[in-house]
C-alpha cells in the first residue's frame, strides 16, 4: 500500500512490508508517566496503527521534568486525553483508545478485556501489585508483554538492559516482581531494568512521600519509554524474532485439584 510522507524515513528501514505490519498492529500502553508517555509517542511516530493508552492520573507540576504529556498548559488535565490528542496530531490514521482508568489488581482482566486484544502490552506502571496482575493476565491469555522496572534514583542510561525477570539484578522492584512471579507460577516475563545501584536520597524525618524519596532525571524515564517502544516496533515489523509469550507454569500433578 502507499504510505504518506510522514513515514518516509521509516520506509527506508522498514520497507512497505514492515510499515504494513505496524499499521495492522495493536499495542496497549499501561501508564502514561515518564516512561509510558514517551513510549506511546514513539509508537505513534513509529507507525503503529492501533494504540490503547490507559492512565488514572491528571498532570501535576512535578511531572513536567520528564513526562511527554506534561507542560504548564496541561496541569490538571487528564493524561489519557492529552495523549489521545497528541497521537492524533502525530498520526491521524492511528486508531486510539484512550481512557482514564485505575487498574485495580482485582479486576485487571475485566478492565483490559473491554479493549481490542493487543499484539503487545507495554507495562509502564510503577505499582508492583498491578504489574503482577498485568503479567498474570498476559500469561493466561498468551499476550506478549514488556514491563518496565524502576527508573527512580537512576542516573546512567547506559546501564539499562532487557532481560528475563529471572536474570535481573540491582533493581529493588525487579527483585520483588521476580519473587512474586515465582510464587504465582508466571514464567517468561521480559523486562527493561537498570543494573545501576539506585542513588541514595537523603532521608530527613519520617513519613516522607514518594515525591520526597524517589528522584527522577529528565532523561531516564523517556529513554526507557523509547527503548520499550523500539523493541516492540522492531518485533512487530518483523525485524526481530518475537519471543515466546509469558505463560503460567502448570502445578505438579500431586498439587492439582482432583
Residue 167 lies in a domain: yes
Report the CATH number that the domain containing residue 104 is assigned in CATH: 3.40.50.720
Confidence at residue 255, expressed as pLDDT on a 0 to 100 scale: 59
The 3-class secondary structure across the chain, one letter per residue, is CCCCHHHHHHHHHHHHHHHHHHHCCEEEEECCCHHHHHHHHHHHHCCCCEEEEEECCECCHHHCCCCCCCCHHHCCCEHHHHHHHHHHHHCCCCEEEEEECCCCHHHHHHHHCCCCCCCEEEECCCCHHHHHHHHHHHHHHCCEEEEECCCCCCCCHHHEEEEEHHHCCCCHHHHHHHHHHHHHCEECCEEEEECCCCCCCCCCCCCCCHHHHCCCCCCHHHHHHHHHHHHHHHHHCCCCCCCCCCEECCCCHHHCCC
Reported confidence tier of residue 188, pLDDT bands at 50, 70, 90:
very high
Structural domain of residue 92, as residue ranges? 16-199+210-249
Residue 159 lies in a domain: yes
Confidence at residue 177, expressed as pLDDT on a 0 to 100 scale: 96
Reported confidence tier of residue 180, pLDDT bands at 50, 70, 90:
very high
Confidence at residue 67, expressed as pLDDT on a 0 to 100 scale: 97
Confidence at residue 29, expressed as pLDDT on a 0 to 100 scale: 98
Residue 244 lies in a domain: yes
Residue 217 lies in a domain: yes
Residue 257 lies in a domain: no
**pTM recorded for the entire structure:** 0.92
How many domains is the chain built from?
1
Residue 7 lies in a domain: no
Q: What percent of the chain has pLDDT over 70?
A: 92
Confidence at residue 66, expressed as pLDDT on a 0 to 100 scale: 97
Residue 1 lies in a domain: no
Reported confidence tier of residue 1, pLDDT bands at 50, 70, 90:
very low
Residue 109 lies in a domain: yes
Amino acid at each position: 500500500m502507499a504510505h504518506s510522507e510522514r513515514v518516509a524515513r521509516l520506509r527506508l528501514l522498514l520497507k512497505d512490508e514492515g510499515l504494513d505490519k505496524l499499521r495492522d498492529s495493536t499495542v496497549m500502553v499501561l501508564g502514561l508517566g515518564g516512561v509510558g508517555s514517551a513510549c506511546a509517542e514513539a509508537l505513534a511516530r513509529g507507525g503503529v496503527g492501533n494504540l490503547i493508552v490507559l492512565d488514572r492520573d491528571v498532570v501535576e507540576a512535578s511531572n513536567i521534568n520528564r513526562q511527554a504529556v506534561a507542560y504548564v498548559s496541561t496541569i490538571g488535565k487528564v493524561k489519557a486525553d492529552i495523549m489521545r490528542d497528541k497521537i492524533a496530531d502525530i498520526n491521524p490514521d492511528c486508531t486510539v483508545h484512550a481512557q482514564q482508568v485505575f487498574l485495580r489488581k482485582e479486576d485487571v482482566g475485566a478492565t483490559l478485556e473491554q479493549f481490542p486484544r493487543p499484539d503487545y502490552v507495554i507495562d509502564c506502571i510503577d505499582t508492583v501489585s498491578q504489574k503482577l496482575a498485568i503479567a498474570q493476565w498476559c500469561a493466561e491469555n498468551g499476550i506478549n508483554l514488556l514491563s518496565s522496572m524502576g527508573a527512580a534514583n537512576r542516573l546512567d542510561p547506559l546501564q539499562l538492559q532487557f532481560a528475563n525477570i529471572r536474570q535481573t539484578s540491582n533493581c529493588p522492584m525487579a527483585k520483588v516482581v521476580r519473587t512474586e512471579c515465582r510464587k504465582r507460577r508466571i514464567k517468561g516475563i521480559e523486562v527493561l531494568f537498570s543494573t545501576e545501584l539506585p542513588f541514595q536520597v537523603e532521608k530527613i524525618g519520617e513519613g516522607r512521600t514518594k515525591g520526597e524519596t524517589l528522584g527522577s532525571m529528565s532523561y531516564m524515564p523517556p529513554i526507557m519509554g523509547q527503548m520499550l517502544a523500539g523493541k516492540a516496533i522492531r518485533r512487530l515489523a518483523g525485524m526481530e524474532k518475537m519471543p515466546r509469550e509469558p505463560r503460567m507454569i502448570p502445578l505438579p500433578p500431586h498439587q492439582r485439584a482432583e
